[in-house]
């Protein structure tokens, strides 16, 4: 078994950015890193070999979805999540707190846990912090998350404080319930968009003690600057020796700014969901491939891109596939988008190592502005 933990390899002197290594039972993840989202034990449209070929070292799966279907016990009986989905590298499982609050038709929160109605068949379920740990340990994830209470934006300060206190209590119970020594456990910092609450939540989780710390409940409608202030307030209370995970935040701009603010891990459905809706990421901005201007365009989506899609297919062909609703179109779009994100993270790591993150950031925005004028 590999030694588990996190180490910072280098810090960038002009920001909070750093490069590091997160070691799990299934390998080493170079950070800062982006995790493709495979909620149902699959990154939609792609195989594990595709993801490995793109260079990803960790994916995110969702305990809520896998608990409801096919069931964590079944996955455990079949050898665990890695074997079940044919993925030999690292897996982080989200506890499902966000999905409970956002997807369940009926949801009731108490200090004990959450009672909710399945969005699949209407059946009632009760999740406690201990149950969530049991589910993630059965799945065999490399990194598990504590149960947290998520609020919609905007949230009143008293409601945010109440959710913070409950999330902290649940975090302690989650830590006490853990049994697997080969699984890392991250606590989740809540506090909505209030910097003071974010700082309090982070300090409380550090006192409990976790292998890493996540920031949840951000990028839910607040202005970007509000998010960055909340980030800074939390990061100031978190140990330098632990990984920091910014949950569900993933525009290219957010990744760049998140790295500058000291984040190590990111996830978002954006590259895969946008691939399914025909939005393609490029070095000069986004391309909506269904637009008529691409009907006879023989150029690749992004002439600077080295992905298999840009090497072999034209914008005209991708547009045809999308309009014809061919499955290959969604697959190729997703491959391209995830290659863009993987390449962006490689560039960010290199920029931090070389002490030129500000230059990298400026060039990124300059490329966008040049193509919009």
Q: Three-state secondary structure along the chain?
A: CCCCEEEEEEECCCCCCEEEEEEECCEEEEECEEECECCCCCCCCCCHHHHHHHCCCEEEEEHHHHHHCCCHHHHHHCCCHHHHHCCCCEEEEECCHHHHHHHCCCEEECCCCEEEECCCCCCEEEECHHHHHHHHHHHCCCEEECCCCCCCCCCCHHHHHHHHHHHHHHHHHHHHHCCCCCCEEEEEECCCCCHHHHHHHHHHHHHHCCCEEEECCCCCCCCHHHHHHHHHHHHCCCCCCCCEEECCCCCHHHHHHHHHCCCCEEECCHHHHHHHCCEEEECCEEEECCCHHHCCCCCCCCCCCCCHHHHHCCHHHHHHHHHCCCHHHHHHHHHHHHHHHHHHHHHHHHHHHCCCHHHHHHHHHHHHHHHHC
Tens-place pLDDT, residues 301-355? 999 999 999 999 999 999 999 999 999 999 999 999 999 999 999 999 999 999 9
Active site residues: 94, 267
Model pLDDT, residue 372? 59
Angle at 129 between CA 123 and CA 134, to 5 degrees: 80
CA 258 → CA 30, 282, 288, 316, 353, distances in Å? 16, 19, 26, 35, 16
Q: Which pLDDT does position 1 carry in this prediction?
A: 44
Residue 152 has what pLDDT? 86
pLDDT on residue 2: 55
Mark the ranges of the chain whose per-residue pLDDT is less than 70. Answer: 1-2, 371-373
Domains and CATH numbers, the chain: 5-268 (3.20.20.105), 275-372 (no CATH)
- In this prediction, residue 78 carries a pLDDT of 98
pLDDT at position 309: 98
């Amino acid at each position: 078994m590999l030694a588990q933990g996190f180490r910072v390899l280098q810090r960038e002197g002009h920001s909070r950015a750093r490069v590091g290594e997160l070691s799990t039972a299934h390998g080493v993840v170079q950070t800062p890193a982006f995790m493709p989202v495979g909620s149902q034990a699959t990154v939609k449209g792609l195989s594990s070999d595709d993801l490995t070929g793109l260079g990803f070292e960790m994916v995110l799966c969702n305990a809520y979805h896998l608990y409801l279907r096919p069931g964590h016990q079944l996955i455990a009986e079949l050898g665990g999540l890695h074997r079940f989905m044919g993925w030999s590298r690292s897996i982080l499982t989200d506890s499902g707190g966000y999905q409970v609050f956002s997807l369940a038709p009926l949801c009731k929160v108490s200090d004990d846990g959450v009672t909710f109605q399945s969005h699949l068949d209407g059946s009632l379920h009760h999740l406690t912090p201990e149950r969530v740990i049991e589910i993630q340990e059965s799945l065999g994830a490399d990194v598990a998350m504590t149960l947290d209470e998520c609020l919609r934006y905007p949230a009143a300060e008293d409601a945010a404080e109440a959710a913070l206190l409950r999330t902290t209590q649940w975090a302690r119970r989650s830590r006490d319930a853990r049994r697997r020594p080969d699984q890392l456990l991250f606590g989740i910092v809540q506090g909505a968009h209030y910097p003071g609450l974010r700082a309090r939540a982070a300090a409380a989780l550090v006192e409990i003690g976790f292998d890493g710390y996540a920031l949840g409940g951000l990028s839910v409608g607040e202005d970007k600057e509000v998010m960055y202030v909340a980030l800074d307030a939390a990061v100031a209370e978190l140990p330098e020796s632990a990984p920091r995970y910014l949950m569900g935040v993933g525009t290219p701009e957010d990744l760049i700014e998140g790295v500058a603010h000291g984040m190590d891990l990111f996830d978002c459905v954006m590259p895969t969901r946008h691939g399914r809706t025909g939005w393609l990421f490029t070095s000069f901005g986004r391309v909506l491939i269904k637009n008529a201007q691409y009907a006879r365009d023989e150029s690749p989506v992004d002439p600077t891109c080295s992905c298999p899609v840009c090497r072999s297919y034209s914008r005209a062909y991708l547009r045809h596939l999308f309009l014809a609703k061919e499955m290959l179109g969604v697959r190729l779009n997703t491959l391209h988008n995830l290659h863009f994100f993987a390449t962006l993270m490689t560039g960010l790591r290199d920029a931090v190592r070389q002490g030129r993150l500000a230059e990298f950031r400026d060039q990124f925005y300059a490329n966008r502005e040049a193509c919009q004028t």
